[in-house]
Amino acid sequence: MNWDQIKGQWQQLRGHAKSKWAKLTDDDIENVAGKRDVLIGKIQERYGMLKEEAEKQVDGWIASYGLKARESEPAPTPPSITSSKGEQAS
């Protein structure tokens, strides 16, 4: 799922965002409108944290719903399973 889809589900997710970041105002949540960069900026502003920390929190929050956190991030490739002899298992 990308952030276009998150924007589409923002009405359902906004209450969860407000619970996660209680310092965000209703206007903040309304202005975010599902936009990742705006959410990160508002979290930085309200909590006085670095952008990297705000990004980490947002990505973790989205991941907790089983959603993909970054717009351009490819889906992770599962590691291959190898036998004890280093041969790939089938």
In a domain, 87, yes or no: no
| CATH number of the domain to which 8 belongs | 1.10.1470.10
Total of domains in the chain: 1
Question: By C-alpha distance, which of 53, 70, 52, 77 is closest to 6?
Answer: 70
Let me know: does 89 contact 81? Beta carbons within 8 Å: yes
In a domain, 69, yes or no: no
In a domain, 81, yes or no: no
Residue listed under structure tokens 């920390």: 53
In a domain, 90, yes or no: no
Task: From first to last of the 90 residues of the chain, give the pLDDT tens digit.
Answer: 567 778 888 888 899 999 999 999 999 999 999 999 999 999 999 999 999 999 999 999 888 877 654 444 444 443 444 445 555 554
pTM of the predicted structure, to 2 decimals: 0.70
In a domain, 17, yes or no: yes
Round to whole Å and give the CA distance between 3 and 55.
Answer: 14
> What residue type is 14 in one-letter code?
R
